[in-house]
Amino acid sequence: DAKTTQPPSMDCAEGRAANLPCNHSTISGNEYVYWYRQIHSQGPQYIIHGLKNNETNEMASLIITEDRKSSTLILPHATLRDTAVYYCIGTYSGAGSYQLTFGKGTKLSVIP
Amino acid sequence: SAVISQKPSRDICQRGTSLTIQCQVDSQVTMMFWYRQQPGQSLTLIATANQGSEATYESGFVIDKFPISRPNLTFSTLTVSNMSPEDSSIYLCSASLGSNYGYTFGSGTRLTVV
């Protein structure tokens, strides 16, 4: 798995966009970037993943730089319920045989 | 995505005893994994639960301490054996339907060893 680096904590005002960065300079060409979040005392929740192209779903957008050395998770309108630890993970995604290696993540605090 | 039921949700156990945690998925899944999350820490992978064969353990985890079963494609158990207070953690089960679906996690088992 690729080593990822995330800021330990971030604040975001409620209703504003939350932009969470992740550096993964050692990611290989066929490793995907996955984002999960863990709300206090719950199991991690899958958010989004991508390989090269930017991705969007009902929860968030994922912007991956052209050189794939970094990415940004965007929560377009943060709410208090988005307060959580967000994990960026680089891993292979083939035939269901991949593992997740969790780093320390970014603790996002959404402020009223 | 798959839905995982994990039980018990929490337990308080005496040192030297064992606890078996169950993980039930609502659909057949290719991969199932067990994680440990110590207080204030991130998740650490314990092992991959393989259907029909022995689990694959990560460095620092051994079968005698954490025996795992996976009798079919929807169910797995993790046993924490001969517990000590250092085993107090949250234990999480996860599963995947395949490469395009991400992982789903159970809600975890909060274990306290006294």
| A28-39 pLDDT tens trace | 888 889 999 999
Residue indicated by tokens 């929860």: A59
Could you tell me which residue, A32 or B14, shows the higher pLDDT? Answer: B14
User: Cβ atoms within 10 A of the Cβ of A1, count?
Assistant: 19
Name which of A92, A93, A104 to mutate to probe chain B: the one with the most chain B Cβ atoms within 10 A of its Cβ: A93
Contacts with B102 from chain A: Cβ below 8 Å: 34, 36, 46, 49
Q: How many CB pairs under 8 A join A and B?
A: 62
Token digits of residue B5: 């039921």
List C-alpha distances in Å: A109 to A10, A26, A106: 6, 28, 9
pLDDT of residue B88: 97
The verdict on a CB contact (< 8 Å) between A100 and B44 is no
User: What is the average pLDDT score of chain B?
Assistant: 93
Any chain B CB within 8 A of the CB of A8?
A: no
> Is A99 a residue whose pLDDT tops 60?
yes
How far apart CA A19 and CA A108 sit, in angstroms, is: 10
What per-residue confidence (pLDDT) applies to A95?
Answer: 46
- Report whether pLDDT(A97) > 80: no
Q: Is A94 on the interface with B (CB under 8 A)?
A: yes
Q: Residue A2: what pLDDT?
A: 67
Chain B residues inside the 8 Å CB shell of A94: 99
pLDDT digits (tens, 9 = 90+) for B59-69: 999 999 999 99
Hey, are the CB atoms on B99 and A96 less than 8 Å from each other? Answer: yes
Closest CA to A20 of A73, A88, A71, A56: A73
pLDDT over 80 (residue A90): yes
Strand partners, A21: A72
Query: Which residues from B are below 8 Å from A87, CB to CB?
Result: 42
Q: How confident is the model over B82-101, as pLDDT tens digits?
A: 999 999 999 999 998 765 66
In this prediction, residue B21 has a pLDDT band, given cuts at 50, 70 and 90, of very high
Q: Do A42 and B107 touch (CB under 8 A)?
A: yes
Please tell me whether residue A86 adopts helix, strand or coil conformation. strand
Q: What is the pLDDT of residues A66-88, one digit of tens each?
A: 999 999 999 999 999 999 999 99
Assess contact for B9 and B70: CB atoms under 8 A: no
Q: Give the pLDDT of residue A101.
A: 83
Quick one: average pLDDT of B46-53? Answer: 90
Q: Which of A45, A95, A102 sits opposite B43 (nearest CB)?
A: A102
With CA atoms as reference, report the closest residue to A13 among A99, A89, A75. A75
**Residue whose C-alpha is closest to residue B80's, from B93, B92, B64, B94:** B64
For residue B3, give the 3-state DSSP assignment.
coil
A92 has pLDDT over 60: yes
